Amino acid sequence: MKRALIFLTLLTAMAVPAAAQPGPPPPRRDVLVDYLQLTDAQKSVWQAAHAEFEAAMKAAHDTLEAKLASTLTAEQKTKFEAFKAARELMQPHGPRPEGGPGRPPR
């Protein structure tokens, strides 16, 4: 009986903090756009600038990855590709929303 009471006490002590954990944060709005009260035309320019930046960063990343991969042996390339595939599966993300990472569609 004493063991059961201790077990239930420990179980409750572990369950309460786990249940109290906050859920995922709400989608983040672009605070700066709201703060500056940009017009629709300005928002359009900002969105285009972000899209251009993200495309440039993707191109730079792809170039870097190709350069690094060119230094690997065949066995290392196989491991590298397997690592990238596993990393992609492990990351909790879906398609990026319009406007880039962390930005909801407007």
The token pair at 93 is 């993300």
Q: Which pLDDT band, with edges at 50, 70 and 90, does 106 fall under? A: very low
In degrees, to the nearest 5, what angle opens at C-alpha 105 toward C-alphas 101 and 106? 130
Which pTM value belongs to this model? 0.52
28-79 pLDDT, tens per residue? 668 888 889 999 999 999 999 999 999 999 999 999 999 999 999 999 999 9
Any idea where the domains of the chain sit in the sequence?
27-106
Q: Specify whether the CB–CB gap between 71 and 63 falls below 8 A.
A: no
Q: Is 33 exposed, middle or buried (0-12, 13-18, 19+ CB in 10 A)?
A: middle
Q: Specify whether the CB–CB gap between 50 and 99 falls below 8 A.
A: yes
